[in-house]
C-alpha cells in the first residue's frame, strides 16, 4: 500500500490511538460524570462497559481496518459488503459533527492557556462573556483547526504519529505533576473522597446510559476512527494486546484527571463540597479562581500548565477526528492529502459556526440556535454531543453485528491471531466470539433503546 502511510511501530500506533482516546472527554467531562453518577459506583459501571462492551468493538475496528488497509467506508467495500459501508458514512458524519463543536471547546482551552499565563484569572468569572466574544474565541478556534489540519496534512508517520509521540508523554508528565501537587493541598482528601466514595443511590438508567455513552466517546469507538488508525497498523502486530494498552491508557488518564481536579476544587471551597458546579462550568468558570487562590506566580504557572495540558489532549483527538473524513477523501476520491485536509477542515469549521457564533455574536446563528430549540450555544453543543453519542453507539452495535454475522468470526479470528501466539486456544478467543455474536449486539441494542 505504498503512499497510504503506516505507523512505524507498535508504540506509534498505541500512542496515536491513545491520543485519539484521551481528550476533552477524559479531563473535562469524565470527572463530572463520575461525580454526578455516584462516584465509584459510576466508575465501576464505566470500567465494565470499557472492558466488556467496548473492547470487542475496538479489536473488531482495528481488525477490519488492518485487514483492508482502507478508510472507514472503503473498508466495508473492500471486504465485499458495500451496503455495510453505511457504518463508515455515518461515522464520517459523526466525526464532522463532533469536530465542529469539539474544536470550539479546544479553542477555549487554548485561549485560557494565554489568559492564565498572563495571570488573568478573572476570565472564569466572565466565562459567559468570554464564550460569546467570538472575535477572540473565533481566532483561537481557527488557530486550533489549523494546527489540526497541519498535523493531518503531514500524513500518518510524519504527522499523526510524530504529534502523538511528542504530546502524549508530555501530557502524562504534566498530569502527574499537577496531581502530585494538588494532593499536597489542604482538604485534598475531602476532594478525593467526594470523587470516589460510591453512592449507589445515584445509579439509575440515566447515569448508566451516561456511562455507556462516555465509554464509547472516550475510547473513540463506533465511528471508524479506530478502523482508520487500524488500517495503518503493520501486518505483524498483536491487535488484542494493542487494544488492551489503549484501553488502560484511556481509563487511567480519566481516573487520574479526576484525582487531580477534585482536590483542587476542595482546596478552593475550603472542603465544602455541597455546592460545586459540574460540567463546562467547573473547568472554565471555577478552576481559574482555584488557580488564583494559589497566588499569582504559582497560580499562573499551574493554570497555564493545566490549560496547555487540556489543549494537547484535545489536539491528538481533533487530529483523529479529522483523519476519518480525510482518509476517505484521499482513498476514494484520489485527492492529495494536503488538499483533502484543507477542504475537509474548511467544511468542518463552517459546520462549527453556530457553536462559535450562536452566543449572541451573530444574530443569524443565534436565532438559528433558538429556532431549533436550544437555549444558547453551549446547550446547542450539548445537543450535538448527545446526537453524536447516539451515532457512536449505533455504529458500535452495527460493527459487532457485522463482524459476528456477516463478515463472520472466523475472519475476525484470523486477523486477531496475527502476532498473538496461542490465540487459537485462548479464552480471549472464546470471549470475543461470544461477544461479537451475542453479548455486544444484545446489550448494546438493549441499552440503546433503554437509555438514549
> What does the angle CA 235 – CA 149 – CA 110 come to, to the nearest 5 degrees?
115
Using rule CB under 6 A, residue 218 touches ligand PHE: yes
* Of the candidate residues 215, 243, 247, 317, the single one contacting ligand PHE (CB under 6 A): 317
- Position of cell 466574544? 133
Binding residues for ligand PHE restricted to 358-397, rule: CB under 6 A = none
Using rule CB under 6 A, residue 25 touches ligand PHE: yes
How large is the C-alpha radius of gyration of the chain?
21
Provide the grid cell at 280: 463546562
DSSP symbol at 156: I
With contacts defined by CB under 6 A, name the span among 19-27, 69-77, 141-149, 279-287 that binds ligand PHE: 19-27
160-163 contact pairs (CB < 8 A, 24+):
160/16, 160/319, 160/320, 160/323, 161/7, 161/8, 161/12, 161/13, 161/15, 161/16, 163/19, 163/315, 163/316, 163/319
Q: Are 212 and 393 in contact (CB under 8 A)?
A: yes
How does DSSP assign 134-160, residue by residue?
HHHHHHHHHHHHHHHHHHHHT-IIIII
Using rule CB under 6 A, residue 20 touches ligand PHE: yes
Question: Whole-angstrom Cα distance, residue 257 to residue 193?
Answer: 14
With contacts defined by CB under 6 A, name the span among 118-126, 147-155, 214-222, 256-264 that binds ligand PHE: 214-222
Q: Please, which residue, 20 or 77, has the CB nearer to ligand PHE?
A: 20
Q: Please, which residue, 96 or 98, has the CB nearer to ligand PHE?
A: 98
With contacts defined by CB under 6 A, name the span among 20-28, 131-139, 228-236, 396-404 that binds ligand PHE: 20-28
* Of the candidate residues 21, 164, 257, 261, the single one contacting ligand PHE (CB under 6 A): 21
CB atoms within 10 A of CB 220: 31
* Of the candidate residues 15, 34, 50, 98, the single one contacting ligand PHE (CB under 6 A): 98
Using rule CB under 6 A, residue 23 touches ligand PHE: yes
Size of the site for ligand PHE (CB under 6 A): 15
| Virtual torsion, Cα 379, 326, 15, 58, nearest 10 deg | 70
User: Distance between alpha carbon 194 and the CA centroid of its chain, in Å?
Assistant: 25
Question: Whole-angstrom Cα distance, residue 159 to residue 64?
Answer: 23
Q: Is 419 left (phi over 0), alpha (psi -120 to 50) or beta?
A: left
Using rule CB under 6 A, residue 65 touches ligand PHE: no
Closest contact distance (angstroms) between CB of 317 and ligand PHE is: 4
| String of contacts with ligand PHE for each residue 320-339, x by CB under 6 A | xx------------------
Provide the grid cell at 11: 508504540
Of the candidates 85, 99, 91, which has an alpha carbon nearest to the alpha carbon of residue 347? Answer: 99
Count of positions (residues) in the chain? 452
Q: Please, which residue, 147 or 423, has the CB nearer to ligand PHE?
A: 147
Question: Whole-angstrom Cα distance, residue 136 to residue 169?
Answer: 30
Closest contact distance (angstroms) between CB of 57 and ligand PHE is: 12
With contacts defined by CB under 6 A, name the span among 8-16, 218-226, 283-291, 434-442 that binds ligand PHE: 218-226
Question: Whole-angstrom Cα distance, residue 15 to residue 167?
Answer: 9
Closest contact distance (angstroms) between CB of 389 and ligand PHE is: 9
> What does the angle CA 184 – CA 186 – CA 187 come to, to the nearest 5 degrees?
110
Closest contact distance (angstroms) between CB of 220 and ligand PHE is: 4
Closest contact distance (angstroms) between CB of 147 and ligand PHE is: 16
Q: Please, which residue, 353 or 391, has the CB nearer to ligand PHE?
A: 391
Using rule CB under 6 A, residue 26 touches ligand PHE: yes
Q: Please, which residue, 20 or 341, has the CB nearer to ligand PHE?
A: 20
With contacts defined by CB under 6 A, name the span among 82-90, 165-173, 313-321, 357-365 that binds ligand PHE: 313-321
Question: Whole-angstrom Cα distance, residue 259 to residue 196?
Answer: 9
Closest contact distance (angstroms) between CB of 158 and ligand PHE is: 21
Closest contact distance (angstroms) between CB of 320 and ligand PHE is: 5
Binding residues for ligand PHE restricted to 220-279, rule: CB under 6 A = 220, 223, 225
List C-alpha distances in Å: 253 to 51, 108, 249, 304.
15, 21, 6, 19
Closest contact distance (angstroms) between CB of 2 and ligand PHE is: 27
Q: Please, which residue, 187 or 320, has the CB nearer to ligand PHE?
A: 320
With contacts defined by CB under 6 A, name the span among 75-83, 314-322, 364-372, 400-408 that binds ligand PHE: 314-322
Point out which residues bind ligand PHE (CB under 6 A): 20-21, 23-26, 98, 217-218, 220, 223, 225, 317, 320-321
Amino acid at each position: 500500500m505504498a503512499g497510504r502511510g503506516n505507523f512505524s511501530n507498535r508504540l506509534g500506533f498505541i500512542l496515536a490511538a491513545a491520543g485519539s482516546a484521551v481528550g476533552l472527554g477524559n479531563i473535562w467531562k469524565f470527572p463530572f460524570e463520575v461525580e454526578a453518577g455516584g462516584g465509584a459506583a459510576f466508575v465501576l459501571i464505566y470500567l465494565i462497559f470499557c472492558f466488556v462492551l467496548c473492547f470487542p468493538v475496538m479489536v473488531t475496528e482495528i481488525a477490519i481496518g488492518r485487514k483492508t488497509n482502507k478508510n472507514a467506508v472503503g473498508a466495508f467495500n473492500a471486504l465485499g459488503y458495500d451496503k455495510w459501508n453505511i457504518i463508515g458514512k455515518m461515522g464520517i458524519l459523526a466525526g464532522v459533527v463532533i469536530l465542529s463543536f469539539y474544536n470550539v471547546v479546544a479553542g477555549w482551552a487554548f485561549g485560557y492557556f494565554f489568559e492564565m499565563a498572563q495571570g488573568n484569572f478573572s476570565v472564569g468569572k466572565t466565562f459567559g462573556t468570554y464564550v460569546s466574544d467570538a472575535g477572540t474565541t473565533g481566532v483561537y478556534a481557527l488557530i486550533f483547526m489549523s494546527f489540526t489540519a497541519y498535523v493531518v496534512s503531514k500524513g500518518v508517520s510524519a504527522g499523526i504519529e510524530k504529534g502523538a509521540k511528542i504530546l502524549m508523554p508530555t501530557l502524562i508528565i504534566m498530569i502527574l505533576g499537577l496531581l502530585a501537587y494538588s494532593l499536597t493541598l489542604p482538604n485534598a482528601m475531602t476532594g478525593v473522597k467526594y470523587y470516589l466514595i460510591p453512592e449507589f443511590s445515584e445509579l439509575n438508567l440515566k447515569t448508566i446510559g451516561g456511562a455507556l455513552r462516555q465509554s464509547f466517546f472516550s475510547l473513540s469507538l463506533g465511528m471508524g476512527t479506530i478502523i482508520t488508525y487500524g488500517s495503518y497498523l503493520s501486518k505483524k502486530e498483536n491487535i488484542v494486546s494493542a487494544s488492551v494498552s489503549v484501553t488502560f491508557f484511556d481509563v487511567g488518564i480519566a481516573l487520574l484527571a479526576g484525582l487531580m481536579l477534585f482536590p483542587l476544587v476542595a482546596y478552593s471551597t475550603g472542603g465544602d463540597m455541597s455546592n460545586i458546579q459540574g460540567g463546562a462550568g467547573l473547568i472554565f468558570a471555577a478552576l481559574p479562581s482555584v488557580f488564583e487562590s494559589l497566588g499569582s506566580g504559582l497560580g499562573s504557572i499551574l493554570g497555564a500548565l493545566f490549560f496547555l495540558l487540556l489543549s494537547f489532549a484535545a489536539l491528538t483527538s481533533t487530529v483523529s477526528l479529522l483523519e476519518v473524513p480525510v482518509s476517505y477523501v484521499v482513498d476514494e476520491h484520489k485527492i492529495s492529502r494536503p488538499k483533502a485536509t484543507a477542504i475537509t477542515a474548511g467544511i468542518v469549521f463552517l459546520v462549527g459556526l453556530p457553536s462559535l457564533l450562536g452566543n449572541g455574536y451573530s444574530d443569524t446563528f443565534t436565532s438559528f440556535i433558538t429556532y431549533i430549540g436550544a437555549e444558547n450555544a453551549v446547550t446547542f453543543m450539548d445537543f450535538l454531543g448527545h446526537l453524536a453519542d447516539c451515532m457512536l453507539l449505533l455504529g458500535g452495535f452495527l460493527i459487532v453485528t457485522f463482524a459476528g454475522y456477516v463478515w463472520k468470526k472466523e475472519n475476525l479470528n484470523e486477523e486477531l491471531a496475527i502476532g498473538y501466539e496461542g490465540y487459537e486456544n485462548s479464552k480471549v478467543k472464546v470471549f470475543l466470539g461470544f461477544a461479537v455474536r451475542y453479548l455486544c449486539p444484545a446489550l448494546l441494542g438493549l441499552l440503546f433503546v433503554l437509555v438514549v
